[in-house]
Amino acid sequence: MAATEHSLFAAGLARSAAEVEARLALHLDRAGAAGTPPRLLAAMRHAVLAGGKRFRPFLVLEMARLLGGREAVADAIDVAAALECLHAYSLVHDDLPAMDNDELRRGQPTVWKAFDEWTAILAGDALLTLAFEILAGNASSGNVSAPGLPPAIRANLVARLAAAAGPAGMVGGQMLDLEAEKLGEPASPDEQHVRRLQGMKTGALIAFAAEAGAIAAAGSSEAVVAARTYGEAIGLAFQISDDLLDVTGDVATVGKAVGKDLALGKATLVAVAGVETARAHLAAAVDKAIAALAPFGDAADPLRQAALFQLEREH
């Protein structure tokens, strides 16, 4: 990626992160005013407002911007905020000693390490349910969701997010991941198994992000399909680049422990096929993501840059 393109992507990522962070802070303030216990609220804030790239919200907002302009972005901001709450819940639970046993996330202590395990479990539960409250736009609870999305679109997004996050999506993928690590099942995972695992655990939410931006912008059925195809491809690219970072990255840059996946026997593409094959799969996934954006012309350049960035991620 050229330096100018990289800087434009970085600027767009930073812009969307700031927009979503402000919206998340507002929702957490309202949750506190509604009676959330202070320790629980503090743990939720630690999980959600601790920085991070906000890559999934970026995909929501940029796809909405592409198909509907500024008005669509205003309508999609709570979709992005809800998705980030759900993503944060998954990280809080993944970091627990019973699962990945990580002590560092985004350069600071994980929620269970900063508080305790029971608080982390409840904080994750709270963020999961808050995500759907935001997405549904429940005004009766003092929710501040943007009013622009019609109820039918909200219901559609709720159903799609539940599917992406649930037993046949992210949660199921985490189960397959832990079965490989803790039970040695399957004993010799192949590429097909790894692709299925990663498509569920990581890819499902990233695919939802791109698709949701198109739906929130009232895109055509063709645009929604193209957005979904793009999201699935960039989700695969993101996971492969994450696996490569575990092998080639360092803690200071990545912001979390590295070298753990291979040591724990996790089923990753790097583990089953090697670094060079993983890089080839990464390049193919990026090409597929870029091809899916062809109908949108030059206006889709921020999303193209997001795909190309996966080739050179350092964190």
Give the CA distances from residue 299 to residues 248, 274, 304, in Å, rounded to whole numbers and listed in that order.
34, 36, 10
Q: What does the alpha-carbon distance between residue 286 and residue 284 come to, in Å, rounded to a whole number?
A: 5
Tens-place pLDDT, residues 191-235: 999 999 999 999 999 999 999 999 999 999 999 999 999 999 999
Residue 45 has which token pair? 């804030």
Tens-place pLDDT, residues 254-295: 444 555 665 566 778 888 889 999 999 999 999 999 999 999
Tens-place pLDDT, residues 148-158: 799 999 999 99
Are 244 and 279 within 8 A, CB to CB?
yes
* Whole-number average pLDDT of the chain: 90
Residue 280 has which token pair? 């080839």
CATH number of 3-312: 1.10.600.10
Q: Residue 225 class from Cβ within 10 Å (0-12 exposed, 13-18 middle, 19+ buried)? A: middle
Are 58 and 12 within 8 A, CB to CB?
yes
Q: At residue 109, what are phi and psi to the nearest 5 degrees?
A: -60, 140
Q: At residue 52, what are phi and psi to the nearest 5 degrees?
A: 105, 160
What's the predicted TM-score (pTM) here?
0.90
- The answer, yes or no, to whether residue 250 has pLDDT greater than 90, is no
Q: Is 314 left (phi over 0), alpha (psi -120 to 50) or beta?
A: alpha
pLDDT at 248: 72
Q: What does the alpha-carbon distance between residue 231 and residue 96 come to, in Å, rounded to a whole number?
A: 28
